[in-house]
Amino acid sequence: MKVYLGTHQPSWLARDLGVPMLVSHRRLADRRSFPRAVGEWALDSGGFTELALHGRWRYDARSYVAAVRRYAGEIGNLAWAAPQDWMVEAHVRARTGLSLRAHQQRTVRNYLRLRDLAPELPFIPVAQGDTVADYLRCADSYERHDVDLASLPLVGVGSVCRRQHSGEVERIVRALHARGLRLHGFGVKTSGLALRRGDRLQRLGGVEFQWPVPARLHTQPSQRGQLPALRAGLARTPEPDTARRAIALLA
């Protein structure tokens, strides 16, 4: 099982930590220059915050493609990029005024648009939903648009980051994995992974997760403050061997 460390500090990409990182477009968009990534990293679109704050995407697919193309070229080592997907949590939908199915439809359409605009960039499709049936319906929608999800390197699983019930997340992941999909779960916590109950999901091949540095550690802007935060975040990852190697590099 691969685990991405979610971080709000783009500068950490320049450090050889031996663990892949995930950085938000919101943290990169206004920068004039970028660090050169030493290792593998992935791009989060920042969609949850964008929709929760504004109820819509304020920039179109062409603008996002231009930004991702720049990140891929100037930062390097970009493994994949999330699309401008539409999360389906109730409070996000209350902000947009749209139904769950409308969010799913817009998520699928955006991926298709990004793929058409920039087939060379590593955008991944994301399945959105509330129930298992919702996620399967979203996957079916991709297939109806001739997107063979099982043939792709990765498919995101959205709207799970705030779920703390391990059984719920596990059922969703297993249902999609049964279709032969290689999955990335955004912001999944250990309690959502059943890691304390026999490591059941760790035995599923082709499943990866994001492990965010705790928000309470996102308070020190200085290098002196960043490193303790990163050590603490790594220490809590569900991949202890990887964490120990990375923490040793920060000593």
Domain ranges of the chain: 2-249
CA–CA separation, 25 vs 108, rounded Å? 20
- Residue 204 contacts residue 177 (beta carbons within 8 Å): yes
110: helix, strand or coil = helix
Report pTM: 0.81
- Angstrom distance (rounded) from CA 55 to CA 35: 31
6 - beta bridge partners? 22, 212
Euclidean distance between CA atoms 88 and 187, whole angstroms: 15
Instruction: Compute the radius of gyration of the chain from its Cα atoms.
Output: 17
Rounded Cα–Cα distance for residues 62 and 66 (Å) = 6
The class that CATH gives domain 2-249 is alpha beta
As given in the structure block, the two tokens for residue 88 are 């389906």
**Distance (Å) of CA 227 to CA 4, 12, 13, 60, 204:** 17, 9, 13, 35, 32
Tens of pLDDT along the chain (251 residues) come to 677 888 888 999 999 888 888 999 999 999 999 999 999 999 999 999 999 999 999 999 999 999 999 999 999 999 999 999 999 999 999 999 999 999 999 999 999 999 999 999 999 999 999 999 999 999 999 999 999 999 999 999 998 876 655 578 888 989 999 999 999 888 765 554 544 344 455 555 555 555 454 433 332 333 444 455 555 555 555 555 554 444 444 44
